[in-house]
Amino acid sequence: AEDVGGGDKEVVRDYFNNTGFERWKKIYGEATEGVNSVQLDIRLGHAQTVENALSMLRDGGPIAGLSVCDAGCGTGSFSIPLASDGALVTASDISAAMVAEAERQARETLADRPDIQMPKFEVKDLESLDGKFDIVVCLDVLIHYPQGKAEAMIAHLASLAESRLVLSFAPKTLYYDLLKRVGELFPGPSKATRAYLHAERDVEQALEKVGWRVRKRGFIRTRFYFAKLVEAVPVGLA
Q: Tell me, by CB under 6 A, how many residues bind ligand SAM.
A: 22
Cβ 180 to ligand SAM shortest distance, Å: 19
Select from 73-81, 109-117, 183-191, 205-213 the region that touches ligand SAM (CB under 6 A).
73-81
Residues 143-182 contacting ligand SAM, CB under 6 A: 144
- Cβ nearer to ligand SAM, comparing 68 with 71: 71
Which one of residues 57, 73, 110, 165 is an interface residue with ligand SAM (CB under 6 A)?
A: 73
Strands (E), the chain: 67-71, 88-93, 120-123, 133-138, 161-169, 212-221, 226-234
Which one of residues 52, 67, 95, 105 is an interface residue with ligand SAM (CB under 6 A)?
A: 95
Alpha-carbon gap, residue 149 to 194, rounded angstroms? 14
Count CB atoms within 10 A of the CB of residue 130: 8
Residues 9-38 contacting ligand SAM, CB under 6 A: 9, 12, 16, 24, 28
Q: Does 121 bind ligand SAM (CB under 6 A)?
A: no
Judged on CB neighbours under 10 Å (0-12, 13-18, 19+), 123 is: middle
Q: What pairs with residue 171 in β-bridges?
A: 198
DSSP secondary structure code for residue 162 in this structure: E
Q: Does 224 bind ligand SAM (CB under 6 A)?
A: no
